[in-house]
Amino acid sequence: MNLANIKYIGFYNADGIKPERSIPLAGRNKMDYTISVLKCFFQSVEILSPACVVNSSAKEEYVDLQDGVSLRLFRNISPCNRFCKVFNHYYSQFQLFIYLLKNTKRNEPVLVYHSLVYKKFIIWAKKIKHFKLILELNEIYSDVSQDFEKYRDLEKKVIKYADAFLFPNDLMNSMFNPKCKPFAVEYGIYKCSNKLSEKFDDSKIHVIYAGTFDPSKGGAAAAAAAAMYLTENYHVHILGFGTEKQRIEIKRNIEDINKKTSATITYDGLLDGNEFLAFLQKCHIGLSTQNPDAPYNNTSFPSKVLTYLANGLQVVSIDIPAISQSKLASVIKFYKKQSPESIAEAIMEVTDFEPHYKLLNSLDHQFKDELKHLMRIL
Instruction: Indicate the Cα dihedral angle 40, 367, 45, 101, nearest 10°.
Output: 150
Summarised one tens digit per residue, pLDDT across range 142-166 is 998 888 888 899 899 999 999 999 9
Q: Calculate what percentage of the chain has a pLDDT beyond 90.
A: 91
Q: Domains in the chain and their CATH numbers? A: 3-189+366-377 (3.40.50.2000), 205-357 (3.40.50.2000)
Closest CA to 283 of 209, 344, 357: 209
Count helices and strands in the chain by DSSP H and E runs: 13, 14
Three-state secondary structure call for residue 287 = strand
The model's pTM is 0.94
Q: Is the pLDDT of residue 168 over 70?
A: yes
Query: 63 pairs with which residues across the strands?
Result: 71
Summarised one tens digit per residue, pLDDT across range 199-235 is 999 999 999 999 999 888 878 999 999 999 999 999 9
